[in-house]
Chain A
Amino acid sequence: MTVKVEVVEGGVPHTKIMAAGIIVSLVCLYLSYLNTMTGTEMFSFFGGLAVVAALIWGSHTIKVLCSYGIGTGVPSAGMIAFGSGVIAMLLATKFGLAAPIVAFVLAIVVGLILGYLSNEVLNMKIPAMVQSLTELAVVGAFTLMGFAVLISGSFTFTGLTTGSITILGASLPSYQVSFIGGSLIAVAFMLGGIAIQHPFNACLGPGWTQDRMLMLTAECGFLSMIVAAVMSFALITTGSALISLIVAIIGWIYTYKQYFALSKRDAADWLDAKPIPDLEGH
């Protein structure tokens, strides 16, 4: 249990990724505040970029955590990240402009306590546990907030719970057609929960390389952004949603191609319709 299976060899150190993740996500979340300042919804796509940045950081955290045998599958780490992140994020939305900062602080508190519970009360004794669960809670909160901005154009509680419905040309306020009222938060929860754990789950093995895994995370982030942008057509103006969709598609195509190239680079061989190669000794 306490034996470290493999160390992070080479590549960008984890602290650097973490710092970049925090800063980029926060900056992107605040850039989306341009929506309120300019009175449009055109800058919602910054929420999607915050998602991508937070996920890149989170997937590397999962890599650090799961390098120790934690006894359960990799996906469970993503689930606990978002289970703890969702409550921190929802409370933070009550604080208006301060929401991203409050989400950061609250998620740290929640994550620290959960980490203490796992490590001491449940006696897991994994050195990286407390820090990792703290980071994951923050990542969960940031990702959900990013999706909230992307889909509804706002990160305040009122913005997330109030939408408008158009009946026969007249626009009426509606609580049902909103990010929380329509439970789109459940979709954001699952999109993030899979995207955060998938890159490490897919790339684990002796030939793990950091740049390939992080490229895959970016790809998962942009892929989630595409579908989230499609959902945002229901809540924000068509033009703004279209901007998010185009940004997402461009980002996704680029990262998907890059990921193919990196996989080709790392693979033992790249074959099309060839038989199983002969191995010596078998």
Chain B
Amino acid sequence: MENIVFGIGITALTGALATVAGAAEDTESNIGSQGDPNSQVQLAPQMGFLHRIFNKAVAGEPPAYGLWCCLGAGLAWAFMAMQINAVLAIVLGCVLAVFVQGVYATTAYLGRQASLKKFGQPIYVDILKSMTTVTMAHAFVAIFCTVTLCFLINAALGHPFPLPLLGLVWGIALGAAGSATGNPYYGKERQYQNQKFGAGVPISASGNIVRYAEAGERNSLDNGFFTAKLGGPASGVCFGLIVFLELWRTVIFEKIDFPGLGPGWYAIFVGILMILVFTIADRYIETWARKTYGPYAEPKEASS
């Protein structure tokens, strides 16, 4: 029983860490215009819209975070193998992983902007200096939380995978959850603030991203400021729920016998039940939107 209480405590802690990690991950990638909205930042100068947005296309978010978290975990593992205290090892590992992330961010920005010479897009050194540091700070929060939760899963809950492999698995999952949830909010709602609210961006408007702020010219810090209010927390809730529910159903129900089937099945049925709950929630959201917002009036006539 004591074991289970301990497990629940660790589960709650990992869920909280995952929520913070998800929120930080999404904000970081939005400040860097990483992931799919990047295509528009890349496209804008080609359509004649020069901008001052940070454009760091390291890779898609899932592989990039797969690397950062796996690297942080691997370095932490190596430091622990050198008999360094676990907390210090994790912090040091994450610091080095963030260094790698920062270097990749700068080279990505330089490369993309230099290749846009034909359209007159310059390289802004001040963007490099001010944005890279901010993304590094957010990336540190995301990586540190993910590596710590992997460490807890491995050391306290007894998962068989070694730390670096857990870092790879949860890093990719973090990137997948964060990009899935956070990308539309940045891509549509922020980049195309000039387009109609409550509708997708017409394909004809592609590339015409908002480049001016309330005062002066918009930079990527403004974007992080905006998406940190909904896209970031939503990504955090998404990743937090994934980690928490996955651990929770295992920790509590794994050992309990299901009548007639034996142990293990309880956790499975609880998982299926949770899938059904989310299905119902999704259906409710979908029908609520259809009822409340209604169909688009005269879809053929409206023009932008």
Q: Do chains A and B touch in the complex (CB under 8 A)?
A: yes
Which A residues lie at the B interface, using CB under 8 A? 73-75, 78-79, 165-166, 176-177, 181-184, 186-187, 189-191, 193-194, 197-199, 201-208, 212-213, 216, 219-220, 223-224, 227, 230-235, 256, 259-260, 262-264, 266-277, 279, 281-282
A-B contact pairs, 23 of them (CB 8 A): A176-B162, A183-B161, A186-B168, A187-B168, A190-B63, A190-B71, A203-B111, A205-B116, A206-B119, A213-B111, A235-B81, A266-B117, A267-B110, A267-B123, A268-B117, A269-B120, A270-B122, A271-B123, A271-B125, A272-B124, A274-B124, A279-B50, A281-B48
A180 to B64, CA, bound (A): 22
Chain A's nearest CB lies how many Å from the CB of B54? 13
Chain A's nearest CB lies how many Å from the CB of B233? 27
Chain A's nearest CB lies how many Å from the CB of B114? 4
A268 and B121 within 8 A (CB):
yes
User: Which A residues are in CB contact (< 8 Å) with B22?
Assistant: none
Chain B's nearest CB lies how many Å from the CB of A173? 14
Chain A CB within 8 A of B112 CB = yes
A271 and B100 within 8 A (CB):
no
Comparing B72-80, B191-199, B277-285, the segment that makes contact with chain A is B72-80
B117 and A190 within 8 A (CB):
no
A213 to B114, CA, bound (A): 11
- Contact partner of A206 (CB less than 8 A), chosen from B74, B81, B116, is B116
A272 to B122, CA, bound (A): 10
Chain A CB within 8 A of B241 CB = no
A78 to B59, CA, bound (A): 10
Chain A's nearest CB lies how many Å from the CB of B61? 10
- Contact partner of A184 (CB less than 8 A), chosen from B50, B111, B164, is B164
Given contacts A203-B112, A212-B114, 9 further A-B contacts (CB under 8 A): A73-B60, A177-B81, A190-B67, A203-B111, A223-B104, A233-B78, A234-B81, A256-B103, A266-B117
A208 to B70, CA, bound (A): 30
User: Which B residues are in CB contact (< 8 Å) with A227?
Assistant: 71, 75, 96-97, 100
- Contact partner of A234 (CB less than 8 A), chosen from B49, B82, B108, B126, is B82
A223 to B68, CA, bound (A): 13
Task: Output the residue of A201, A208, A233, A282 with the most chain B CB within 10 A.
Answer: A201
A216 and B111 within 8 A (CB):
yes
B78 and A276 within 8 A (CB):
no
User: Which A residues are in CB contact (< 8 Å) with B83?
Assistant: 166
A201 and B58 within 8 A (CB):
yes
Chain A CB within 8 A of B300 CB = no
Chain A's nearest CB lies how many Å from the CB of B48? 5
Q: Give the dominant DSSP class at B's interface.
A: helix
Given contacts A182-B77, A281-B48, contact A202 B122 (CB under 8 A): no
Instruction: Map CB proximity to A onto B177-211 as digits: 1 under 8 Å, 0 otherwise.
Output: 00000000000000000000000000000000001
Chain A CB within 8 A of B42 CB = yes
- Contact partner of B100 (CB less than 8 A), chosen from A193, A206, A223, A268, is A223
Chain B's nearest CB lies how many Å from the CB of A277? 6
Task: Output the residue of A177, A234, A235 with the most chain B CB within 10 A.
Answer: A234
User: Which B residues are in CB contact (< 8 Å) with A233?
Assistant: 78, 82
B116 and A182 within 8 A (CB):
no
B48 and A263 within 8 A (CB):
no
A255 to B57, CA, bound (A): 20
A266 to B77, CA, bound (A): 41
A275 to B127, CA, bound (A): 11
A-B complex: 4 closest residue pairs judged by Cβ atoms? A205-B115, A269-B122, A202-B111, A187-B74
A206 and B122 within 8 A (CB):
no
A195 to B59, CA, bound (A): 10
Chain A CB within 8 A of B138 CB = no
Given contacts A269-B122, A271-B125, A272-B124, contact A183 B162 (CB under 8 A): yes
Chain A CB within 8 A of B133 CB = no
A10 to B48, CA, bound (A): 28
B108 and A202 within 8 A (CB):
yes
B58 and A268 within 8 A (CB):
no
- Contact partner of A202 (CB less than 8 A), chosen from B112, B118, B126, B164, is B112
B107 and A220 within 8 A (CB):
yes
A75 to B58, CA, bound (A): 9
Instruction: Map CB proximity to A onto B27-70 as digits: 1 under 8 Å, 0 otherwise.
Output: 00000000000000010000011111000011110011011001
Chain A CB within 8 A of B132 CB = no
User: Which B residues are in CB contact (< 8 Å) with A212?
Assistant: 111, 114
Chain A's nearest CB lies how many Å from the CB of B263? 28
Chain A CB within 8 A of B13 CB = no
- Contact partner of B114 (CB less than 8 A), chosen from A74, A177, A187, A267, is A267
A162 to B50, CA, bound (A): 55
B164 and A194 within 8 A (CB):
no
Task: Output the residue of A203, A220, A232 with the most chain B CB within 10 A.
Answer: A203
Given contacts A193-B67, A269-B122, A274-B124, contact A186 B74 (CB under 8 A): yes
Nearest-CB residue, chain B, relative to A192: B67
